[in-house]
């Protein structure tokens, strides 16, 4: 027996023949609806950059506005106003693209901030467990138990008060309102993102490759960043896209309530546009004012959800292969 | 209780003294490892054998101090290369990992990070311990992969674990463990998750690497056949205790403990006529929360009498053979020479 053990030295080619070769991965197509969703979101992003780059000025067309007021809203659609105008003569396409810019900035800033804060805390809680976990989980659960709408209103008013509205001009006022809403929504989103990240960190922290990394002398920080983060991050991409859609809806509701972006200023936001067109008379006389931004919001949120779902599907299948 | 394994004059590399590892659970304290002691010389191989739940995996993890701090009671001494490891702080013990001791895990499907490329997993330890640059680390990694018999190593460095078969992955796990040139390698059932056809090549690879690197190894397995030709010494574990410990040839020629004998009998033999019923050990390993008062194997032992059930036998040497220890009141004394030669074809 020992004779075999001391003489057997497998030559690499022989060993290769003995090992089975794993089958090549087959890529499945994403499908037409997925690409439609990507095109829509991409188009919205492009249009906002186009507006920003060309300094497309807001021009008020009083004549067309008067047409809306007299009930002939269909007549306002023209080459100069492809999507018509509202009662005050503001071009809908202009309002829509500047609104999209604010909505997208808020959605992605919120998700990014939420992931950075909630993600870092969640990974720490999930990896170290014990007292760290107990304290962090207590605070996030406490945050979750507050009524979200009241909490947001409170946060925004606190942030507005501390910003000191007097020293900001209109332009800064806009930026700070986008920032205010993003910050408030990020605080609101943090607990749920914390929970998601914590749960998957716990799951991965028990996997053998984490122990294996420790047997090679990796510090906790290294294990978290290089071993667990890549595993946690990919499924979170999908969750982040879906969350971005959710944030857009909440942001729209805030604008609709008059506490979101552009409250009291000339700045556009989708929620604000819907609100302006939603008074009962306007809705009957000129449904385009409320319905076009509503449709844009709907399509964007649906697209983000769809892209997120597809990513999740794809990533889950890959997890199965592993 | 220390076995004089360094009778050949080699310096002891690892000394484990009375290691105890208990887990606190809701149902009580699980006595997973209960006072295990052994010494391992440089470049030597110890086989740890036992069935599932005998504490053999916990033993190797406890020696490497990989178990969580919470809910674990760990006592005893582990002296590695002259250093008492439990006295080292976190930073110093991390320096020991990879360079001093490394570990190979049972399942290469779970011990490789699924979303990190092979190259980075291999070079991480090198960069961490030796501060070498990426390029040099990658070249070393390629060399390592070649030495563990992986074809086209340069291409493999850029692949993910799921692109490879089980045998390939275990080779990569071995390469990672060997990357920093450890003096001691723990192999925790390295072939259990693999196809039988691949098992032998992996074991041969381990033996070859061990010879080339003058590395000591602790080979944990449930298969006596695996350790038969590949170890210098064997420790048989049952219910968290060492029940028999001896140099490999002595154990196989003169096994004393009924559990060792029962394990040996349960290896299928080619010389048996077909459809021979395989001998198994009746019953199950004892509950480690409330282990039996007497000999822990007594409830399953065919030779057990009243004394076995009442009193735990000490680990004592065979008269005249100081390096053969056993824990039994009624040792078996069968000459197993014939059995050994019959089992040889599967044993390797």
Q: What would the pLDDT profile of A133-143 be if each residue is shown by its tens digit? A: 999 999 999 98
Asked if pLDDT for residue B4 goes beyond 90, the answer is no
Asked if pLDDT for residue B2 goes beyond 70, the answer is no
Q: What is the mean pLDDT of chain A?
A: 77
pLDDT of residue A217: 84
Helix axes A288-321, A229-256, angle to 10 degrees: 170
Nearest to B73 by CA among B14, B15, B16, B28: B28
Residue of B nearest to A229 (CA): B115
Percent over 90 (pLDDT), chain B? 31
Report the distance separating Cα A46 and Cα A51, nearest Å.
9
Mean pLDDT confidence for A295-306: 91
For residue B162, give the nearest of A18, A226, A321 by CB distance: A321
* Chain B residues near residue A231 by CB distance under 8 angstroms: 113-115
Burial class (CB in 10 A: 0-12, 13-18, 19+), A180: buried
- Look-up of token digits 């101090």: B65
Joined together, the tokens standing for residue A175 give 């930026």
ipTM for this prediction: 0.76
pLDDT of residue B347: 39
Residue of B nearest to A12 (CA): B149
pLDDT of residue A26: 56
- Please tell me if residue A225 touches chain B, with a CB cutoff of 8 Å: no
Strands B12-25 and B184-188: what pairing? unpaired
Handedness of CA B173, B178, B180, B186 (dihedral sign): positive
Asked if pLDDT for residue A175 goes beyond 80, the answer is no
CB A113 within 8 Å of CB A254: no
The H or E element spanning position B286 is none
pLDDT of residue B343: 47
Mean pLDDT confidence for B135-157: 90
For residue B151, give the nearest of A6, A12, A216 by CB distance: A12
Instruction: Please indicate whether, in this complex, the C-beta atoms of A217 and B113 are within 8 angstroms of each other.
Output: no
**Quick one: pLDDT band at residue B6, thresholds 50, 70, 90?**
very low
| Residue B275: count of CB within 10 angstroms of its CB | 5
Instruction: Please indicate whether, in this complex, the C-beta atoms of A215 and B229 are within 8 angstroms of each other.
Output: no
| Residue B83: count of CB within 10 angstroms of its CB | 14
- Measure CA of the first residue to CA of the last residue in chain B; give whole Å: 31
Helix axes A92-128, A270-277, angle to 10 degrees: 130
Q: Which of A118-122, A159-163, A170-174, B166-170 has the highest mean pLDDT?
A: A118-122
Nearest to B31 by CA among B335, B292, B219, B322: B292
- Please tell me if residue A209 touches chain B, with a CB cutoff of 8 Å: yes
CB B275 within 8 Å of CB B86: no
Report the distance separating Cα A40 and Cα A300, nearest Å.
7
Mean pLDDT confidence for A120-140: 91
Joined together, the tokens standing for residue B128 give 């961490």
Mean pLDDT confidence for B22-34: 91
Mean pLDDT confidence for B282-289: 85
pLDDT of residue A14: 45
* Chain B residues near residue A318 by CB distance under 8 angstroms: 162
Question: pLDDT tens for residues B189-239?
Answer: 888 878 888 888 888 888 988 988 889 999 999 888 888 888 999 999 999
Joined together, the tokens standing for residue A85 give 């105008």
Asked if pLDDT for residue A206 goes beyond 90, the answer is no
Asked if pLDDT for residue B46 goes beyond 90, the answer is yes
Question: Chain B closest CA to A241's CA: distance in Å?
Answer: 21
Question: Chain B closest CA to A249's CA: distance in Å?
Answer: 33
- The Cα-based distances of B200 to B112, B121, B186, B204, B220 in angstroms read 21, 25, 18, 6, 15
DSSP class of residue B218 equals: E
* Chain A residues near residue B228 by CB distance under 8 angstroms: 1
Joined together, the tokens standing for residue A165 give 């509205």
DSSP class of residue A167 equals: G
- The Cα-based distances of A41 to A118, A144, A300, B302 in angstroms read 26, 30, 6, 74
For residue B344, give the nearest of A1, A25, A321 by CB distance: A1
pLDDT of residue A241: 86
Least confident of A19-28, B57-66, B68-77: A19-28
Nearest to A218 by CA among B226, B315, B98, B73: B98
The H or E element spanning position B241 is strand B241-247
Helix (H, G, I), strand (E, B) or coil at B76: strand
Beta-bridged to residue B247, according to DSSP, are B233
pLDDT of residue B344: 46
Report the distance separating Cα A101 and Cα A107, nearest Å.
10
Report the distance separating Cα A23 and Cα A11, nearest Å.
23
Nearest to A286 by CA among A72, A123, A102: A72
Angle at A76 between CA A72 and CA A78, to 5 degrees: 145
**How are strands ordered across the β-sheet holding B316-318?**
B101-104, B184-188, B216-221, B45-49, B233-238, B241-247, B321-326, B316-318
pLDDT of residue A54: 65
Report the distance separating Cα A97 and Cα A103, nearest Å.
10
Report the distance separating Cα B57 and Cα B35, nearest Å.
15
**Quick one: pLDDT band at residue B142, thresholds 50, 70, 90?**
very high
Asked if pLDDT for residue A128 goes beyond 70, the answer is yes
CB A1 within 8 Å of CB B229: yes
Report the distance separating Cα A102 and Cα A270, nearest Å.
9
Asked if pLDDT for residue A126 goes beyond 50, the answer is yes
pLDDT of residue A55: 62
- The Cα-based distances of B348 to A8, A208, B339 in angstroms read 11, 28, 14
Residue of A nearest to B164 (CA): A22
Q: Which of A42-51, B146-155, B189-198 has the highest mean pLDDT?
A: B146-155
Report the distance separating Cα A127 and Cα A133, nearest Å.
9
* Chain B residues near residue A225 by CB distance under 8 angstroms: none
Question: Cα-flanking dihedrals φ and ψ of residue A145, to 5°?
Answer: -80, -10
- The Cα-based distances of B221 to A226, B197, B203, B237 in angstroms read 31, 17, 12, 10
**Quick one: pLDDT band at residue B339, thresholds 50, 70, 90?**
very low
- Look-up of token digits 């089975």: A20
Q: What is the mean pLDDT of chain B?
A: 85
Asked if pLDDT for residue A261 goes beyond 90, the answer is no
Joined together, the tokens standing for residue A20 give 């089975």
Residue of A nearest to B147 (CA): A12
Strands B72-80 and B83-84: what pairing? antiparallel
Nearest to A201 by CA among A184, A168, A225: A225
Instruction: Please indicate whether, in this complex, the C-beta atoms of B195 and A20 are within 8 angstroms of each other.
Output: yes
Helix (H, G, I), strand (E, B) or coil at B276: coil
Least confident of A9-13, B99-103, B144-148: A9-13
Residues 6+ away with beta carbon under 8 Å from B141 = B119, B122, B123, B126, B153, B157, B175, B179
């Amino acid at each position: 027996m020992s004779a075999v053990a001391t003489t057997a030295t497998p030559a690499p080619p022989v060993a290769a023949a003995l090992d089975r070769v794993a089958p090549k991965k087959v890529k499945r197509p994403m499908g037409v609806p997925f690409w439609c969703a990507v095109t829509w979101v991409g188009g919205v992003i492009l249009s906002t950059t186009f507006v920003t780059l060309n300094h497309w000025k807001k021009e008020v067309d009083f004549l067309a506005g008067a047409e809306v007021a007299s009930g002939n809203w269909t007549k306002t659609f023209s080459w100069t106003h492809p999507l018509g105008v509202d009662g005050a003569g503001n071009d809908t396409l202009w309002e829509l693209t500047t609104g999209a810019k604010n909505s997208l900035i808020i959605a992605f800033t919120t998700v990014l901030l939420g992931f950075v804060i909630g993600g870092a805390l969640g990974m720490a809680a999930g990896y170290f467990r014990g007292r760290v976990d107990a304290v962090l989980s207590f605070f996030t659960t406490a945050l979750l138990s507050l009524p979200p709408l009241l909490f947001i209103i409170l946060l925004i008013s606190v942030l507005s008060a501390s910003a000191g509205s007097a020293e900001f001009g209109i332009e800064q006022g806009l930026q700070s309102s986008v920032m205010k809403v993003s910050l408030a929504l990020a605080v609101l989103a943090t607990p749920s993102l914390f929970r998601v990240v914590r749960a998957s960190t716990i799951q991965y922290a028990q996997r053998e490759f984490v122990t294996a990394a420790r047997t090679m002398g990796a510090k906790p920080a290294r294990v978290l960043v290089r071993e667990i983060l890549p595993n946690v991050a990919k499924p979170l991409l999908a969750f982040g896209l879906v969350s971005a859609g959710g944030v857009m809806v909440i942001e729209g509701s805030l604008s609709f309530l008059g506490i979101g972006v552009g409250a009291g200023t000339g700045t556009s936001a989708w929620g604000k546009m819907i609100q302006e067109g939603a008074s009962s008379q306007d809705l009957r006389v000129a449904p385009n004012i409320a319905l076009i931004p509503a449709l844009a919001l709907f399509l964007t949120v649906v697209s983000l959800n769809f892209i997120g779902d597809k990513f999740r599907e794809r990533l889950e299948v890959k997890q199965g292969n592993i | 209780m220390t076995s004089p394994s360094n009778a050949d004059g080699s310096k002891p590399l690892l000394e484990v003294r009375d290691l105890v590892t208990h887990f606190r659970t809701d149902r009580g304290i699980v006595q997973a490892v209960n006072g295990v002691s052994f010494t391992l010389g440089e470049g030597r191989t110890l086989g740890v054998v036992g069935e599932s739940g005998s504490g053999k995996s916990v033993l190797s993890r406890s020696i490497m101090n990989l178990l969580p701090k919470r809910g674990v009671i760990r006592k005893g001494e582990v002296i590695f290369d002259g250093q008492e490891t439990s006295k080292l702080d976190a930073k110093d013990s991390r320096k020991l990992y990879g360079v001093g001791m490394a570990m190979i895990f049972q399942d290469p499907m779970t011990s490789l990070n699924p979303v990190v490329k092979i190259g980075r997993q291999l070079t991480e330890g090198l960069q961490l311990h030796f501060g070498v640059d990426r390029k040099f680390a990658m070249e070393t990694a390629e060399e390592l992969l070649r030495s563990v018999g992986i074809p086209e190593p340069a291409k493999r460095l850029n692949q993910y674990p799921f692109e490879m078969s089980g045998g390939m992955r275990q080779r990569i796990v071995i390469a990672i463990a060997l990357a920093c040139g450890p003096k001691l390698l723990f192999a925790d059932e390295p072939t259990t998750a693999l196809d039988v056809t691949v098992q032998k090549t992996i074991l041969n690879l381990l033996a070859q690497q061990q010879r080339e690197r003058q590395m000591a190894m602790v080979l944990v397995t449930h298969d006596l056949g695996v350790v038969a030709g590949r170890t210098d010494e064997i420790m048989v574990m049952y219910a968290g205790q060492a029940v028999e410990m001896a140099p490999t040839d002595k154990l196989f020629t003169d096994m004393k403990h009924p559990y060792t004998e029962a394990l040996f009998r349960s290896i299928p033999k080619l010389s048996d006529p077909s459809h021979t019923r395989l001998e198994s050990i009746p019953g199950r390993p004892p509950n480690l929360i409330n282990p039996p008062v007497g000999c822990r194997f007594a409830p399953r032992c065919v030779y057990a009498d009243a004394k076995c059930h009442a009193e735990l036998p000490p680990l004592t040497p065979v008269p005249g053979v100081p390096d053969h220890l056993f824990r039994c009141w009624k040792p078996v004394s069968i000459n197993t020479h014939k059995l050994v030669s019959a089992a040889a074809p599967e044993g390797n």
